[in-house]
Amino acid sequence: MFVFRLLRLIAHLFLGMAICAILFPFTSAKGQEAHIRRWSRKLLSVCGISVKIDSPQPIPRALLVANHISWLDIFVVNSLQPCRFVAKSDIRGWPLIGWLCAKTGTIFISRGKASDVRRIFKGLVESIEKGEVVAFFPEGTTAPQGTLLPFHANLFEAAIDAKAPVQPYALRYVDSQGKLHPAADFIGDMSIVESILAILKSRGMTAELKQLPIIPTEGAHRRDLARVSHAVIAGGLGYAVEELSPVSAPADIAPGTAPDPQVAPQ
| pLDDT one-digit tens code per residue, 221-259 | 999 999 999 999 999 999 866 545 443 333 333 333 333
Nearest CA among 23, 121, 41 for reference residue 81: 41
φ/ψ of 86, rounded to 5, equals: -95, 125
- Mean pLDDT, the chain, rounded, equals 86
What mean pLDDT do residues 122-143 have? 90
Instruction: Say if residue 76's pLDDT is above 80.
Output: yes
What mean pLDDT do residues 56-85 have? 91
Nearest CA among 114, 88, 111, 115 for reference residue 101: 88
pLDDT value of residue 241? 60
pLDDT value of residue 113? 61
pLDDT value of residue 107? 83
Under the banding of pLDDT at 50, 70 and 90, the label for residue 49 is very high
What mean pLDDT do residues 35-52 have? 96
